[in-house]
Amino acid sequence: MHRITVVGGGFAGLTAAVTAAEAGARVTVYEAHHTLGGRARTSDGPYRTNEGPHALYNGGPHWTWLQRRGLIGPLAPLPPLEAARLRLRHHGVLRRTPPFSMLKLLRRSASQAPVDQDFLTWATEEAGEEAARAAAHYSAVALFHHDPGSLSAAFVQERLRRATRLPPEAHYPRGGWGAVIDRMAARAWNLGVRMETLSRVDTLPTDTPVIVATSLDAARRLLGDDSLTWPSGRTVLVDLAVRTRRGDAFAVSDLDAPGWIERFTAQDRTLAPAGEQLLQGQIPVAPGVSRAEGVARAEELLDLGFPGWRERTTWRREAVAQGRTGAVDLPGTSWRDRPAVDRGDGVYLAGDQVAAPGVLSEVSFNSALTAVSLVLGRGALDLKHA
């Protein structure tokens, strides 16, 4: 019987633990925090916010995996009336539809973007500069990067297509991602997985294979491997609760610069007390840009989509997420160029900045399955078309 150690109890770590335990392995998970979930935690209290992913994309492999095990749970559907309240800021004003020229980049018949060219250059050639910039900024909802146009055209195009697909791929677990994590942890427990919280690992065990399912920064420190680096985003997070007002937007997406404000209680009323709405904004900012500048940009979107929000605010929180928003691929690189899952000597990586395909949390999922497959001697999974 295989014995496996998993360092990190977030989405990647729990995916690895459940998969290995289902295959008959004896698994121990070590989590430094007092609760499991990593960035997929949902905060306790009257305002249930998420630091990590908010939606599950049903076009990815993790959807089927979670669904088969009954781990997704009840979903919070977005009412059609709320969906109609999506607004786009373009040239400083709100509009209901994107620039017509931008639609050229969203057609299924649009040409396949190249890996070795930046998105802004490629998209400008395809649809003009205005459409290219608007599309790049809109894609920030799945990128969390301050300059999406500078990234690999193929990388951005995949995320843009997934984020704009109709019917939408995004689905919202009721109660936040924390509810999914709780169900995953319960399944792991029932499979015999030993889970140790408040257990920070500073030295890797040598008697079992180890799957390091932490942030890339933490993995670099733990393994003492300076090669474990990859570009990521930096995002100002603004969470606030406001008293309910009829006519508020469901979401405001900025086409003039990367940024997004969403009213998450539009689809899930359990996230805030009765009579209040939970708004969460993510504003990607460049290195060196202050949190105050990002907050100011978020407030511009709030002014447009949520009139009187200042007088209605009942709770507010701000933070900066540094290097915690997943990998981004520069021109000439793809997911295959990121740090490899197999680090040698029985050590494997899993997480959202390693060599596995997918959008958002799908990278963590795919890398976790690959790591388990390698540990169990089944060879690397074929993720070419995953």
- Going by C-alpha positions, the residue among 239, 185, 214 that lies closest to residue 54 is 239
* 382 inside domain: no
Whole-number pLDDT of residue 282:
94
Q: Does the pLDDT of residue 238 top 50, yes or no?
A: yes
User: Are 210 and 355 part of one and the same domain?
Assistant: yes
pLDDT category at 384 given cuts 50, 70, 90 is very low
Q: Does the pLDDT of residue 11 top 60, yes or no?
A: yes
Nearest-angstrom CA–CA distance, 58 and 207: 38
Q: Does the pLDDT of residue 364 top 60, yes or no?
A: yes
Compute the radius of gyration of the chain from its Cα atoms.
21
Beta partners for 321? 235
* 383 inside domain: no
| Percent of the chain residues topping a pLDDT of 70 | 97
User: Are 68 and 99 part of one and the same domain?
Assistant: no
* 303 inside domain: yes
Whole-number pLDDT of residue 197:
96
* 366 inside domain: yes
- Using CA atoms, how far residue 182 sits from 11, 57, 346, in Å, is 11, 19, 29
What is the mean predicted confidence (pLDDT) over 64-86?
94
User: Are 257 and 144 part of one and the same domain?
Assistant: yes
- Going by C-alpha positions, the residue among 217, 185, 216 that lies closest to residue 9 is 185
Domain count, the chain: 2
User: Are 117 and 105 part of one and the same domain?
Assistant: yes
pLDDT category at 124 given cuts 50, 70, 90 is very high
pLDDT category at 111 given cuts 50, 70, 90 is confident
What is the mean predicted confidence (pLDDT) over 110-137?
95
What are 302's two structure tokens?
């709030």
* 386 inside domain: no
Whole-number pLDDT of residue 379:
53
* 380 inside domain: no
CATH code of the domain covering residue 17: 3.50.50.60
Whole-number pLDDT of residue 378:
66
Q: Does the pLDDT of residue 377 top 70, yes or no?
A: yes
Count other Cβ atoms within 10 Å, centred on residue 198. Answer: 10
What are 214's two structure tokens?
């932490």
**Are 149 and 129 spatial neighbours (Cβ–Cβ below 8 Å)?**
no
User: Are 313 and 300 part of one and the same domain?
Assistant: yes
Q: Does the pLDDT of residue 109 top 80, yes or no?
A: no
What is the mean predicted confidence (pLDDT) over 58-72?
94
* 158 inside domain: yes
Structural domain boundaries, residue 247:
79-167+232-327
Torsion 371-373-378-380 (CA) sign: negative
Nearest-angstrom CA–CA distance, 212 and 5: 8
- Going by C-alpha positions, the residue among 87, 75, 55, 89 that lies closest to residue 250 is 87
Nearest-angstrom CA–CA distance, 145 and 321: 11
Tens digits of per-residue pLDDT, 178-215?
A: 999 999 999 999 999 999 999 999 999 989 999 999 99
User: Are 143 and 248 part of one and the same domain?
Assistant: yes
Torsion 147-151-155-161 (CA) sign: positive
User: Are 308 and 240 part of one and the same domain?
Assistant: yes
User: Are 104 and 60 part of one and the same domain?
Assistant: no
pLDDT category at 1 given cuts 50, 70, 90 is low
pTM of the model: 0.94
User: Are 85 and 210 part of one and the same domain?
Assistant: no
Nearest-angstrom CA–CA distance, 351 and 74: 26
User: Are 312 and 239 part of one and the same domain?
Assistant: yes
Phi, psi of 270 (to 5 degrees): -75, -5
Q: Does the pLDDT of residue 381 top 90, yes or no?
A: no
Q: Does the pLDDT of residue 51 top 80, yes or no?
A: no
User: Are 245 and 309 part of one and the same domain?
Assistant: yes
DSSP state string for 168-229: --EE-BTT-HHHHHHHHHHHHHHTT-EEESS---SS--SSS-EEE-S-HHHHHHHHT-TT--
**Are 42 and 209 spatial neighbours (Cβ–Cβ below 8 Å)?**
no
Whole-number pLDDT of residue 116:
98
User: Are 249 and 215 part of one and the same domain?
Assistant: no
**Are 238 and 252 spatial neighbours (Cβ–Cβ below 8 Å)?**
no
